[in-house]
Amino acid sequence: MHDRGYHAAGVTDIAADAGVAKGGFYSQFASKDDLGVAVVDKFADRMFAALHEHLDDPREPSPLRRLHRYFAARIAHHEAQGFVRGCLLGNFALELGDHSEPVRQRVEHYFEELARALAEPIRAAQAAGEVRDDRGALPLARFVVTAWEGALLAMRARKSAAPLREFVAMTLDDFLVGAARR
């Protein structure tokens, strides 16, 4: 589902790839929609695991640098993969957001969770004077998430890391730091 998209991934193929017969799939999931929801949850789990690996890294004292490390790791990942697939939350938001309310709600929820997770180091960085404090940490974090999703979309359109690097330069190094440091 992540690399073909929800509709293009057939249940038969999914079951076969899992080494399970067709019917076996339906003993675990009530429907394909059901799997879609489970896939969103699973993806979010992994995303938050990778996120906290960097945000909670005790070796890096600067919260702003922890943020940078996370996105640098994501960029390295996407570069290694050849700029495919992107973020499944974003993909599902566009492919299913208008037609599957359960999926949409979960995607919305995880986006907000992600923003809340990013708001922590941003808030700490504000306290340390590393990030502008004329705006709340959560609104800033929401904008970071949105800009990152846009960058991933542009990455897939251009098959290039340039949009991701522009995200770092514009959103993290410029906008987030604010006028104070420019």
Partner DNA sequence: TGAATATATGACCGAACGGTCAAAAACTGT
Partner DNA sequence: ACAGTTTTTGACCGTTCGGTCATATATTCA
Q: Which residues bind a second copy (CB under 8 A)?
A: 3-5, 7-8, 84-86, 89-91, 93-95, 97-99, 104, 107-108, 111, 134, 139, 142-143, 145-151, 153-154, 156-159, 163, 166-167, 170, 174-175, 178-179, 182
Query: Can you state the angle between helices 32-55 and 88-96, rounded to 10 degrees?
Result: 150
Nearer to a second copy, 38 or 169 (CB): 169
Residue 130, binding choice from DNA, a second copy, none, Cβ under 5 to 8 Å by partner class: none
Per CB under 7 A, 101 contacts DNA: no
Distance, in Å, from the CA atom of 129 to the CA atom of 95, rounded to the nearest integer, reads 40
Q: Distance of alpha carbon 120 from its chain centroid, rounded?
A: 16
> What amino acid occupies position 181?
R
Residues 43, 88 contacting (CB under 8 angstroms): yes
Where along the sequence are the contacts to DNA (CB under 7 A)?
7, 9-13, 20-24, 26-28, 31-33
